[in-house]
Amino acid sequence: MTERKSVRAGSTNTVVISARRFEQSPYRDCYGNRNMVHGVYAGRLFPMNTGDDPAEKYWVLRRKAALYDVPERPVEISGPDVVAFVERIFARTVSTLKEGRGRYAIACTPQGGVFMDGLLFRLGRDRFWYVQPDGALETWLVAHSGGFDITISDPKSRALQIQGPASPAVMRDASNGAINETMGYFHAGFFDLGGQELYVSRTGWTGELGYEVYSQGDKTDHHRLWDHLMAAGEPHGMEVSGGGSMEIRRLEAGILDNITDMDMSMTPFQAGLARFIDMDKDDFIGREALMDVDRRTLLYGLKCKHAKPIMNDTVFKADQPVGRVTAGAWSPYLDTAIGYVRFSAPGDWAGQGLSLQSCDGETHECEIVSLPFYDPEKKIARGLDKTFP
């Protein structure tokens, strides 16, 4: 594979920035080091690079378990009109969501573009959490809250992800047996972890079997929670990992990153997310605009043996530019570089051999494939496929 200076530009081309306006992770002192490089996500600083080797941590994730400190921000929506409100905001049916369950849900703009995607959890009859990625979710919710008897608040929750095939054993030991493999995919609830009550869901951002642990603001002793989880994970080979290994695995799994891979200029259909849009709902923001749009996808996977694609690399058909790369990584499992390419027009792109032109002007052959790269039924994440060595 051809290595380029710009491959790790996101973690090496840096500037010094004041942390005054950004929220520092309460777990940072538990694993931080002088080599760590932060990014800003949802108003929070997060570790883009901790100095570890993403390929080494990738195999820890695939074969044992990895612990990630992630910046996604839960926002609480509650009140007598909360169901009607979230039905209006999100393009996914919400009224059928049971307490103790989560659901992937997309919020669209009035023009039908993807404003935000994330996980919606129902904590009670009139209480929901929406775990948002980057973007101004609270402002958006407030702007559309007129006429609804609801409260929008910040529970000050921080999320940790424990991902990998050993994660059920880690969580079993951390919860004194209360959490085990019978906990269903996208199920959630409050559990005692080392004498503290935390919200735990059977979800993640890696395509692996895993869990997310949400703290409860000032009620949570974050350092004590971290130590408790590390003690539970040590016998099972769990290690702390930076975001590099998660980025590789999420690309393999076809998991999209809002703003990076899709944005307000792209409809959910163009992003390949039609299955999460319930057009038979009476109404939601963006529904009218989506009624007559082209429903073919613009987002595909890319494989390249000789160069790792990075954001804004160009994809050519013959001598014509037809798309641009949104993200890329080297896949140790597939033994090839992979990435996402957003095409400028719909077409039968899967199976075509095109050319990848990097920012340094070099051109390499590449293959276009449908997403995800493997495990389309998410059998690994659902705990149905445990054959990985």
CATH code of the domain containing 288: 3.30.1360.120
Question: 163-195 b/e with 16+ CB inside 10 Å = b?
Answer: bbbbbbbbbbbbbeeebeeebeebbbbebebbe
User: Measuring CA to CA, which residue among 82, 25, 21, 87 is closest to residue 243?
Assistant: 25
Instruction: Give a yes or no: residue 234 inside a domain.
Output: yes
Whether residue 50 is contained in a domain is answered as yes
| Residue 307, φ and ψ in degrees, nearest 5 | -155, 145
Residue 256 belongs to a domain: yes
The dihedral region occupied by 383, where left means phi > 0, alpha psi between -120 and 50, and beta the remainder, is left
Is residue 254 situated within a structural domain?
yes
In a domain, 64, yes or no: yes
In a domain, 340, yes or no: no
Best CA proximity match to 173, nearest among 185, 162, 184: 162
pTM attached to this predicted model: 0.93
What mean pLDDT value characterizes the chain?
93
Residue 87's domain comprises 1-297
pLDDT score of 275: 96
Give the Cα separation of 138 and 153 in Å (integer): 8
Distance CA 22, CA 9 (A): 22
Query: In this predicted structure, what is the pLDDT of residue 3?
Result: 36
pLDDT of residue 51: 83
Is position 236 within any domain? yes
Q: What angle do CA 382, 63, 308 make, to 5 degrees?
A: 95
Which pLDDT belongs to residue 4? 33
Predicted local confidence at residue 12, as pLDDT: 61
| pLDDT tens series, the chain, 389 aa | 433 333 344 556 677 777 667 888 899 899 878 778 888 888 888 877 778 999 999 999 999 999 999 999 999 999 999 999 999 999 999 999 999 999 999 999 999 999 999 999 999 999 999 999 888 899 999 999 999 999 999 999 999 999 999 999 999 999 999 999 899 999 999 999 999 999 999 999 999 999 999 999 999 999 999 999 999 999 999 999 999 999 999 999 999 999 999 999 999 999 999 999 999 998 999 999 999 999 999 999 999 999 999 999 999 999 999 999 999 999 999 999 999 999 999 999 999 999 999 877 889 999 999 999 999 999 999 999 988 76
In a domain, 352, yes or no: no
What is the domain count for the chain?
1
- Nearest-CA neighbor of 170 among 160, 159, 180, 185? 180
